[in-house]
Amino acid sequence: MQQFIIEGGHTLTGELTASGNKNAALKMLPACLLTEEPVTLTNLPDIGDVRVTIQILEKLGATTEWVAPKTLRVHAQNISTGAIDPQLGHKTRASVVFSGPLLARLGRVELPIPGGDSIGERRVDTLTSALEQLGGKLEFRQNALEITAKRLTGANILLQEASVTATENTIMAAVLAKGTTVIRNTASEPHVQDLCHMLMAMGAQIEGVGTNQLTITGVERLGGCEARVGADYMEVGSLIGAAVMTGGALTIKEADPQHLDMIALMLGKLGVRWQVTGADIVVPAGQSLTVSRDLGNRIPTIKTQPWPAFPPDLMSIALVIATQSAGTVMFHDWMYESRFFFTDKLVRMGANITLCDPHRVLVQGPTPLHGLPYITSPDIRAGMAMLLAALAAKGQTHIFNIQQIDRGYERIDEKLNTLGASIQRVDADAVSTGEVQLVNEASQR
């Protein structure tokens, strides 16, 4: 087990290139199963969840090869089984999206109970219902779900909710189904669009990309392709937070700013500003963070909604920025009942936060933050939010359970250190005995 030791109070300044989108990568990798030809994915982030997903592919019989930095070639010519390895499946929620491509390719898939973040109940009923409408037959077993189909057939599907996972999985099942599939109430996030563009490069026929209705005409086979994983706007938003909370200037290159408009609007309520220069964004130094009140001097609300509204995974980042913004703001995440259950740690660091109920918190700022000797990361985004708080805090902070952060952020300690942060990645057991042993990850790979 490892931990971060962060010495706060350093101004972060410099330039970084955005990593590939975690949520796109975790769906584009399973999509490689839809063809017997090689597929090359570029700008693939080297993060925990991606490494687990690659292991799942290899267990299924696919071969993988890193042919260049951030570039992976997947060849799924011989798929030997439709059963997801239970130990690997428990490590990531994204394991459920193997069901669409495996059902289309083999006519059978066996799924373990998926893992992932502990941010609340996350049912998969929308996903399984769509597969049933395409012709899948479900059978529940102890700790597993088996889905079979002799041949998937196109259908008119109205998703129960605009679920990203259900949308992506249904698309992958439908591209090889017989006939035409219309999917309504679809999610349209950038990573959904990345997946669609990849499948179209493989020969799929998809209309309506970027909207909430997709029309898919099934084809007999798909071929290989090369596809780029787009910029991770979650990482971009987190890096913006690191800059403004420490008062630094930051340029984020290849940030795909076309996907940041709503994020700019919502973070703008906290006083955050940046400029767009081509594919890059520039965050100016020394921003005056002040909450903009709503009409009638009302307290503003930052609320999660389906894309293109404010994304749920940036809620924790916006919240921690608000602790340093002058004024009061309400945060409302109606989707996940455990999203805000890390805020007690920020309160211990000095933040003024009132947990109104499981879905709403009130933040009043700015308040000086101070380091803590022991806090844990409950999920990817909360862990990153606490890391940002530690960067702005006075003194030293120890964050444990950092494998949660590593699942979604590529070498974030190394990246932030190049900007002037002071973050040590150390062995937690060594620290407990009084011996700080720096871990050289590069030598372990």
- Over residues 175-192, the mean pLDDT reads 97
pLDDT at residue 434, rounded to an integer: 41
In tens, the pLDDT along 37-77 reads 999 999 999 999 999 999 999 999 999 999 999 999 999 99
Q: Report the alpha-carbon distance of residue 370 to residue 346 in Å, rounded.
A: 9
Q: Which of 12, 17, 16, 99 is nearest to 56 (CA)?
A: 99
In tens, the pLDDT along 265-292 reads 999 999 999 999 999 999 999 999 999 9
**363: exposed, middle or buried (Cβ count in 10 Å: 0-12, 13-18, 19+):** buried
117 part of the active site: yes
Length of the chain, in residues? 445
Q: What's the Cα-to-Cα distance from 261 to each of 247, 265, 281, 367, rounded to whole Å?
A: 22, 6, 12, 28
pLDDT at residue 354, rounded to an integer: 97
Phi and psi (nearest 5°) for 197? -65, -35
Q: Report the alpha-carbon distance of residue 89 to residue 52 in Å, rounded.
A: 8
Burial call 326-350: b when 16+ CB within 10 Å, e when fewer: ebbbbbbbebbebbbbbbebbeebb
End-to-end CA distance of the chain: 16
Q: Is the peptide bond before 114 cis (omega within 30 degrees of 0)?
A: no
Whether 433 shows a pLDDT value over 70: the answer reads no
The number of beta carbons lying within 10 Å of the beta carbon of residue 376 is: 16
User: pLDDT-derived band of residue 141, with 50, 70 and 90 as boundaries?
Assistant: confident
Amino acid letter for position 52: V
Whether 101 shows a pLDDT value over 70: the answer reads yes
Q: What's the Cα-to-Cα distance from 84 to each of 16, 148, 186, 329, 402, rounded to whole Å?
A: 36, 14, 26, 44, 26
Q: Report the alpha-carbon distance of residue 240 to residue 12 in Å, rounded.
A: 10
Place of tokens 């293109």: 308
Q: Which of 194, 203, 28 is nearest to 100 (CA)?
A: 28
Residue ranges and CATH numbers for the domains of the chain are 2-18+231-444 (3.65.10.10), 22-228 (3.65.10.10)
Q: Which of 275, 207, 209, 282 is nearest to 239 (CA)?
A: 282
Strand 14-17 with 327-332, pairing: unpaired
User: pLDDT-derived band of residue 355, with 50, 70 and 90 as boundaries?
Assistant: very high
Task: Give the contacts of 142 (CB within 8 A, at least 6 positions apart).
Answer: none
The number of beta carbons lying within 10 Å of the beta carbon of residue 395 is: 15
Given 117, 256, 280, 413, the catalytic residue: 117
Whether 149 shows a pLDDT value over 60: the answer reads yes
CB 405, CB 235: distance < 8 Å: no
pTM: 0.89
Phi and psi (nearest 5°) for 249? -105, 135
The number of beta carbons lying within 10 Å of the beta carbon of residue 371 is: 20
- Over residues 140-151, the mean pLDDT reads 86
Q: Mean pLDDT, the chain, as a whole number?
A: 92
Share of the chain above pLDDT 90, in %: 84
CB 74, CB 32: distance < 8 Å: yes
Task: Give the contacts of 235 (CB within 8 A, at least 6 positions apart).
Answer: 18, 19, 22, 409, 410
The number of beta carbons lying within 10 Å of the beta carbon of residue 262 is: 16
User: pLDDT-derived band of residue 378, with 50, 70 and 90 as boundaries?
Assistant: confident
In tens, the pLDDT along 202-244 reads 999 999 999 999 999 999 999 999 999 999 999 999 999 999 9
pLDDT at residue 263, rounded to an integer: 96
